[in-house]
Amino acid sequence: MADEFDTNLLRMIAAELWFSNRLKAAREFFGKSYLSLSVAEKTSVDQLVLGAIGSDYQSITPDWLQTQKAQQPLGFQAPTDTPTKT
């Protein structure tokens, strides 16, 4: 029960920080609130914040990330092996 509360508390704090970063980035780049941005502007702000947080995370924990396996992207992928005719 206590572990579940701690996990939910950390999720809430992370969500608040994520939203706060988006609000600050929107105000800095577009001069208006995140909630008043168009869809394209919101997408660019979201990508910017995601990239900034991802780069900070990777610079903080490089050793831990090196031990993780790379995940395969979702969706259609062209085959890397080309069949050969004999």
- Domain containing 20 equals 2-58
- Model pLDDT for residues 18-54, shown as the tens digit of each residue: 888 888 888 888 888 888 889 998 888 888 888 887 7
| Structural domain contains residue 35 | yes
What single-letter amino acid sits at 66? Q
Please tell me the pTM assigned to this model: 0.54
| Structural domain contains residue 43 | yes
Domain total for the chain? Answer: 1
| Structural domain contains residue 17 | yes
3-state secondary structure 52-66: HHHHHHHHHCHHHHH
Instruction: Please state, rounded to an integer, the average pLDDT across all residues of the chain.
Output: 77
Write down the pLDDT at residue 34: 85
User: From CA 30, how far away is CA 45, in angstroms rounded?
Assistant: 9
What single-letter amino acid sits at 20? S
Distance (Å) of CA 49 to CA 12, 62, 68, 75, 80: 18, 20, 23, 24, 33
